[in-house]
Amino acid sequence: MSQTLSNSRSLNMIEALREAQDIMLERDEDVVIYGQDVGYFGGVFRVTAGLQEKYGTSRVFDAPISEGGIVGTAIGMAAYGLKPCIEIQFADYIFPAYDQITQEAARIRYRSNGQFTCPMVIRTPTGGGIFGGQTHSQSPEACFTHVSGVKVVIPSTPYDAKGMLITAIEDPDPVIFLEPKRLYNGPFDGHHEKPLVPWSKHPDGHVPEGYYTVPFEKAEVRRPGADVTVLAYGTMVYVAEAAAEEMGIDAEVLDLRSLIPLDLETIISSIKKTGRCVIVHEATLTGGFGGELAALVQESAFYHLEAPVLRVAGWDTPYPHAQEWAYLPSPRRVGQALRDVMEA
């Protein structure tokens, strides 16, 4: 955890995200929240539960089942000075709004020569691990890291989720805020057969009361090590930690937290120390953000590498329902990559 304060208490990621929105609704009258079922019902994962009752239907409200319409209206609101924080029910559903995000929201600052900005947040649950099948389990982050003009962040703890969402709402430019749904109620180390450990029993579940922010451009060293650097984000942070422990390898695990902007300085500093690098993400391998990370490592730290950079990712198939645990990177698969890079 980034910070320990006397006034912290245990929250899961859902509660932390809800608290961030509650704080910003109270602090800034320009903040509005809407999306499918986020008002009266409180969202499919209950992230906005109780906010409409507290702040009214003009600031927290439901939208039609039209992702393009939700994002398009948010862009208009943002251009006129409001700060919409909208929810796309699952990241898999974001593609009908892709044109609005990439051609409008991402370009407003540039095309207006800085006269307009687009202070909006698109919250959306991402990733697998909940038996959601092919249309409720995808990880589309690389589709947005390719687009100049948007920020892309993925918290992995309740502490980061709250602080980074507040940072996102205050940011003058559009932020894609991806929430690993497998982490909503507790950390997941890839061992699906074991009982869930709730955030209340995990040190990273302690969240300070009130307002605080977590900067986007700073990765966190989740596990110090000297032999190999593991770059991960979201759920895969915990899978990487489990793999390192089970293999007995002195791996340094970095939680990137923010993909755009990216903390390249911390990444390269770690690799200069370890000389080896393994990249882990649950999105499909081909075209995944891991390829960009591997290129950056090669360009910036080539002469410090003692072995080729290895990637562990989802397979190049639609996300399967019946074979979910064969698709999702596991401690065994990550552990094999760690062993291979150490023996190379």
CB 75 within 8 A of CB 67: no
Q: Compute the average pLDDT of residues 46-74.
A: 98
Residue 112 per-residue DSSP state: T
CATH of domain 220-343: 3.40.50.920
Name the nearest CA neighbour of 20 among 234, 205, 212, 295: 212
Coil/strand/helix, residue 227: coil
- Percent of the chain residues past pLDDT 90, beyond the cut: 96
Catalytic residues: 136
- Whether 3 shows a pLDDT value over 60: the answer reads no
Dihedral over alpha carbons 256, 262, 263, 265 (to 10 degrees)? 130
Tens digit of each residue's pLDDT (9 = 90 or more) over 241-288: 999 999 999 999 999 999 999 999 999 999 999 999 999 999 999 999
Beta strand spans in the chain (E): 8-10, 31-35, 60-62, 83-87, 121-126, 151-153, 175-180, 206-208, 220-223, 228-232, 251-255, 258-260, 277-284, 310-314
Q: What is the mean pLDDT of the chain?
A: 96
Kindly list the distances between the CA atom of residue 316 and the CA atoms of 54, 275, 282, in Å, as whole numbers in the listed order. 45, 29, 11
Q: What is the pLDDT of residue 6?
A: 58
Peptide bond into 261 cis (omega under 30): yes
CB 235 within 8 A of CB 183: yes
Confidence of residue 2 (pLDDT cuts 50, 70, 90): very low
For the chain, the distance separating the N- and C-terminal CA atoms, rounded to the nearest angstrom, is: 33
**Domain chopping of the chain, boundaries:** 8-208, 220-343
Tens digit of each residue's pLDDT (9 = 90 or more) over 296-317: 999 999 999 999 999 999 999 9
Tens digit of each residue's pLDDT (9 = 90 or more) over 167-188: 999 999 999 999 999 999 999 9
* Spatial separation of the C-alpha atoms in residues 330 and 270, rounded to whole Å: 23
Tens digit of each residue's pLDDT (9 = 90 or more) over 193-246: 999 899 999 988 999 999 999 999 999 999 999 999 999 999 999 999 999 999
Residue 33: CA atoms inside 13 Å, Cβ hemisphere, count? Answer: 32
Q: What is the pLDDT of residue 287?
A: 97
Q: Compute the average pLDDT of residues 81-105.
A: 97
Q: What is the pLDDT of residue 184?
A: 98
The CATH T-level fold of domain 8-208 is Rossmann fold (3.40.50)
